[in-house]
Amino acid sequence: MVEILGLSVSGLNNISYKNASSKWGVELAAKNPNIFSTLYLDHIEGMVLFKDEVLGVSSVKINKAIVLGPREHKFVSFKVWRKDWNIDGDQPSVKDWVVDNLVMEQSRNKINFSVQMGVWGQIKSGWWLRKSVIMNPRCMDLSINLVKNRGFGMLLNKKPIRCYVPMLDR
């Protein structure tokens, strides 16, 4: 289970087609709901989306696996940084209609983003069971309240937001 604890954005004050940069900070709690198995997480890719369009991608290679014992939880955070809307190395291009909608919603001081992740790891139970898994947590409609004319905003929820987490065997 994954819960979003915090989402922040900075640098959204100069959105245009040619020049924009932004940075998102994602804080989450990863929980192992199983009472028998241990979960080992070794790679996370995080994406920030606006209306199902990817704005930025971040890949986090974990040097030492994050170990979640039975019924255990740990806090994880990562950043997604975007320098240029059009071409930014391995980042996808942002379409013009997305920029138009971001500008329009920014004027209302509230923008909904989504966070999607790819998480690779293993489940181990006892000495005999070891399975590789891929999880794809999706946290939809995260409403960010923006500080007027500052390009900064954050998620203002009193409770963590539970994400949908499909899991696949590798």
Mean pLDDT value across the chain: 83
Domain ranges of the chain: 2-169
Q: What Å distances lie between residue 15 and 61, 73, 79, 117, 149, CA to CA?
A: 30, 37, 19, 25, 11
The answer, yes or no, to whether residue 91 has pLDDT greater than 70, is no
- Amino acid present at 140: M
Q: How confident is the model at residue 63 (pLDDT cuts 50, 70, 90)?
A: confident
Residues 41 and 165: their CA atoms lie apart, in Å, by: 14
pLDDT mean over 52-74: 88
Q: How confident is the model at residue 13 (pLDDT cuts 50, 70, 90)?
A: low
Which residues sit opposite 135 in a β-bridge?
119, 167
Specify the residue for token string 């900070």.
25
Please report the pLDDT score of residue 39 as a whole number. Answer: 92
Residues 6 or more apart in contact with residue 124 via CB below 8 angstroms: 37, 38, 40, 130, 131
pLDDT tens profile 116-141: 999 899 999 888 888 998 889 999 98
Residues 139 and 117: their CA atoms lie apart, in Å, by: 9
| SS3 state at 14 | helix
Please report the pLDDT score of residue 74 as a whole number. Answer: 92
The answer, yes or no, to whether residue 69 has pLDDT greater than 90, is yes
Residue 104: CB atoms within 10 Å: 10
The answer, yes or no, to whether residue 18 has pLDDT greater than 70, is no
